[in-house]
């Protein structure tokens, strides 16, 4: 795991974070539920809580789908290529490429179809970008959520040990949980963090 330079994180007084969707996207409840599931995965292993807000002004995190140049100097490039990007804490900017074909199913796609589809699993990308919003950078561990690339049709939504260790360096574990490491997927390579659990 890695962090942004200076290791920015949400301040201690901010453990309850709110998120809102850009209203112009007119997202269905089904799509919004995908993001709720993605936030829950991080909430389970940290002291952070995430609540949906209807107010863009009051929300800590704003989520929107955009195409091409959309005002932050990081234009999207059409289907595939870059899929989404997110800011480091405490900015809370979460942008997804509106030109992608997003899959919002919870089921894994058949491996037979994987290599020939350009559809991207939304929850996988959401879990990754939320990692950035909370302060994690990219990881070289291929099984980790914070690994930067994902193949079309692939689905990777469970936090790996590497992700959990990284986020708990920033915020500590969930006081009501087991820390998540008992149930996390094992990652290859024998990564060590030096963190005392």
Partner 1 sequence: KFYTNISSVPPLQFLNASRSAWETFGKLAGCHVGEKVDGLSKLKHYFRRFGYISTAVDNFTDDFDDVLQSAISTYQKNFNIKVTGKLDASTLRQIVKPRCGNPDMIDGTSEMNAGKKFRTTER
- The catalytic residue positions are 129
Pairing of strands 101-103, 16-21: unpaired
CA distance 178 to 1: 20
Q: What is the dihedral of CA 147, 152, 157, 159, to 10 degrees?
A: -20
- For residue 79, give both structure tokens: 């289907």
Tell me how far CA of residue 88 lies from CA of 3, 36, 99, 137, in angstroms.
9, 20, 24, 9
The answer to whether 159 touches 45, Cβ cutoff 8 Å, is yes
Nearer residue to partner 1 within complex by CB, 89 or 152: 152
Which listed residue (20, 48, 59, 120) binds partner 1 by CB under 8 A? 120
Whole-number minimum distance, CB 182 to partner 1, in Å? 21
CA distance 64 to 27: 9
CA-based radius of gyration for the chain:
16
Nearer residue to partner 1 within complex by CB, 20 or 103: 103
Nearer residue to partner 1 within complex by CB, 25 or 53: 25
Nearer residue to partner 1 within complex by CB, 125 or 157: 125
- For residue 187, give both structure tokens: 């990652």
The answer to whether 166 touches 1, Cβ cutoff 8 Å, is yes
Q: How far is CA 16 from the centre of its chain?
A: 17
Binding window for partner 1 (CB under 8 A); candidates: 9-17, 45-53, 55-63, 123-131: 123-131
Whole-number minimum distance, CB 157 to partner 1, in Å? 15
Nearer residue to partner 1 within complex by CB, 59 or 83: 83
Binding window for partner 1 (CB under 8 A); candidates: 16-24, 36-44, 52-60, 116-124: 116-124
> Please, which of residues 31-90 interact with partner 1 by CB under 8 A?
31, 74, 76-86
- By rule CB under 8 A, what count of residues binds partner 1? 59
Binding mask 145-164 for partner 1 (x = CB under 8 A): ---xxxxxx--------x--
Under the rule (CB under 8 A), what is the footprint of partner 1? 1-5, 28, 30-31, 74, 76-86, 101-105, 107, 109-110, 113, 115-120, 122, 125, 128-129, 132, 137-142, 148-153, 162, 166, 189-193
């Amino acid at each position: 795991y890695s962090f942004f330079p200076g290791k920015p994180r949400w301040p201690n007084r901010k453990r309850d974070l709110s998120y809102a969707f850009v209203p112009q996207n007119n997202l269905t409840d089904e799509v919004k539920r995908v993001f709720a599931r993605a936030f829950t995965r991080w909430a389970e292993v940290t002291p952070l809580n995430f609540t949906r807000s209807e107010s863009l002004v009051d929300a800590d995190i704003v989520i929107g789908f955009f195409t091409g140049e959309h005002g932050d100097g990081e234009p999207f490039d059409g289907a595939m290529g870059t899929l989404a990007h997110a800011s480091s804490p405490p900015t809370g900017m979460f942008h997804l490429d509106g030109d992608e074909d997003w899959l919002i199913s919870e089921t894994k796609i058949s491996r037979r179809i994987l290599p020939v589809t350009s559809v991207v699993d939304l929850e996988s990308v959401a879990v990754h970008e939320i990692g950035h919003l909370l302060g994690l950078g990219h990881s070289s561990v291929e099984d980790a959520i914070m690994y930067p690339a994902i193949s079309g049709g692939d689905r990777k939504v469970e936090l790996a040990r590497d992700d959990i260790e990284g986020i708990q360096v920033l915020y500590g574990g969930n006081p009501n949980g087991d820390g998540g490491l008992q149930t996390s997927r094992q990652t290859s390579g024998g990564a060590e963090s030096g963190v005392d659990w």
